[in-house]
Amino acid sequence: MSKIYFLNWHNNHKGNYGPTQIFNNLTKNLEKDKDIEILCPETFNGSFNDLIKEIFFKYLPKKDKSIFVVNGEGLKLPFFMLLFSKIFRKHEYFLMYHGLREEEDKYSGISSPKYYYLERNILKNFPNIICVSSFLRNLIISRCKRSKKTYVINSGVNYSSIDKKSLEDNHDIKLTKEFKFIISGGIKKVKGIDKAINMIKAINSSQNEFIAILDIYGGYDDEAYYKDILNSIDKNSYINYKGEVPKEIINSLYKDYDFLVALSNFDSYNMTVLESVSSGTPVIISDNIGACDVIKDNNLGCILKSSDITSENFVDIINLLQEIYRNKDKYSIMINECLKAGKKYDWNIVKNSYINLFTKVKEGR
Is pTM beyond 0.85? Reply is yes
297 and 167 in a common domain: yes
264 and 139 in a common domain: no
- Please provide the distance, in angstroms rounded to a whole number, between the alpha carbons at the two ends of the chain: 15
89 and 39 in a common domain: yes
Q: How many domains does the chain have?
A: 2
Task: Say if CB 248 and CB 224 are below 8 A apart.
Answer: no
Task: Say if CB 292 and CB 303 are below 8 A apart.
Answer: yes
Q: What pLDDT score was predicted for residue 307?
A: 85
Q: What pLDDT score was predicted for residue 201?
A: 93
Q: What pLDDT score was predicted for residue 51?
A: 93
The CATH number covering residue 235 comes to 3.40.50.2000
207 and 100 in a common domain: no
Give the range among 91-100, 196-205, 231-240 with minimum mean pLDDT.
231-240
Q: What is the pLDDT of residues 104-125, one digit of tens each?
A: 999 988 899 999 999 999 999 9
Judge whether residue 195 has pLDDT over 90. Answer: yes
152 and 165 in a common domain: no
Q: Domain range holding 198? A: 159-345
Better-predicted residue by pLDDT, 235 or 285: 285
Q: What pLDDT score was predicted for residue 84?
A: 98
Judge whether residue 356 has pLDDT over 80. Answer: yes
CA angle (64, 65, 66) in 5-degree steps: 110
Judge whether residue 179 has pLDDT over 80. Answer: yes
188 and 151 in a common domain: no
Distance, in Å, from the CA atom of 287 to the CA atom of 305, rounded to the nearest integer, reads 6
pLDDT band for position 184 (cuts 50, 70, 90): very high
Q: What pLDDT score was predicted for residue 89?
A: 95
DSSP conformational letter for 89: T
Per-residue CA distances from 62 to 36, 143, 268 (Å): 15, 36, 36
164 and 119 in a common domain: no
Give the range among 3-17, 132-146, 225-239, 245-259 with minimum mean pLDDT.
3-17
69 and 186 in a common domain: no
Judge whether residue 15 has pLDDT over 60. Answer: no
Q: What pLDDT score was predicted for residue 167?
A: 60
227 and 208 in a common domain: yes
Q: What pLDDT score was predicted for residue 346?
A: 93
Q: What pLDDT score was predicted for residue 283?
A: 97
Averaged pLDDT, 329-357 = 92
Q: What pLDDT score was predicted for residue 78?
A: 97
Q: What is the pLDDT of residues 266-325, one digit of tens each?
A: 999 999 999 999 999 999 999 999 999 998 766 899 999 888 888 888 998 999 999 999
171 and 315 in a common domain: yes
Three-class HEC string of 247-285: HHHHHHHHHHCCEEEECCCCECCCHHHHHHHHCCCCEEE
Judge whether residue 364 has pLDDT over 90. Answer: no
Percent of the chain with pLDDT over 70: 93
Better-predicted residue by pLDDT, 133 or 35: 133
Distance, in Å, from the CA atom of 279 to the CA atom of 184, rounded to the nearest integer, reads 14
Q: Give the highest mean pLDDT range of 8-22, 159-173, 316-330.
A: 316-330
184 and 147 in a common domain: no
What's the burial of 64, exposed, middle or buried (CB within 10 Å: 0-12/13-18/19+)?
A: exposed
pLDDT band for position 73 (cuts 50, 70, 90): confident
Determine the residue type at 175.
L
Residue 29's closest CA among 351, 334, 298, 357? 351
Write down the mean pLDDT value for the chain.
90
293 and 282 in a common domain: yes
